[in-house]
């Protein structure tokens, strides 16, 4: 039985992992590299963490195995998001956007003086 859970916010490594799969299928090592790139190097998945998360996401129907091939006598699986995975990612992106908007609004209400505005392209205060 496949169960997709979306009620609770995703943990950051899981969010980064499914984000890394949103634009193209990837194998394990490529996922580790892509997650590091997306997070600006803040999150570096270890193999055990990656494959544990992929197994859980496979069981939840969020990720599927796109293909399997043998490379240098080792099995390589390429993973892809399912339709349910795209829905989970879209829901989480909406949740984060809503939270960020509220945080920015409250920063503006709570700060004395002019409201804080995010810097753009390195041009700031």
Domain presence at residue 120: no
Q: Which domain holds residue 35?
A: 12-104
Domain presence at residue 28: yes
Contact (Cβ atoms closer than 8 angstroms) between residue 92 and residue 17: no
Domain presence at residue 51: yes
78: domain CATH number is 1.10.10.10
State the Cα torsion 52-3-62-89 to the nearest 10°.
-110
DSSP one-letter string for 46-114: -HHHHHHHHHHHHHTTSEEEEEEEEETTEEEEEEEE-HHHHHHHHHHHHHHHHHHHHHHHHHHHHSSSS
Q: Record the pTM.
A: 0.78
Q: How many domains does the chain have?
A: 1
φ, ψ for residue 69, nearest 5 deg: -145, 155
Maximum pairwise Cα distance, the chain: 64
40: its two tokens: 């600006």
Domain presence at residue 81: yes
Q: Please, which pLDDT band fits residue 111 given cuts at 50, 70 and 90?
A: confident
pLDDT digits (tens, 9 = 90+) for 28-84: 999 999 999 999 999 999 999 999 999 999 999 999 999 998 888 888 899 999 999
Per-residue model confidence (pLDDT) at position 1 = 45
Chain centroid to CA 118: 23
Domain presence at residue 29: yes
Domain presence at residue 72: yes
């Amino acid at each position: 039985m496949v169960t997709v859970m979306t009620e609770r916010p995703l943990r950051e490594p899981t969010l980064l992992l499914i984000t890394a799969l949103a634009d193209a299928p990837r194998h394990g090592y490529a996922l580790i590299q892509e997650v590091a790139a997306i997070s600006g190097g803040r999150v570096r998945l270890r193999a055990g963490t990656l494959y544990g998360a992929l197994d859980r996401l496979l069981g939840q129907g969020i990720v599927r195995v796109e293909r399997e091939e043998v490379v240098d006598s080792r099995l390589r699986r390429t993973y892809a998001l399912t339709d349910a995975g795209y829905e989970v990612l879209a829901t989480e992106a909406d949740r984060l956007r809503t939270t960020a908007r509220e945080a920015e609004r409250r920063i503006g209400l709570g700060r004395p003086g002019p409201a804080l505005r995010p810097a753009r392209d390195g041009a700031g205060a």
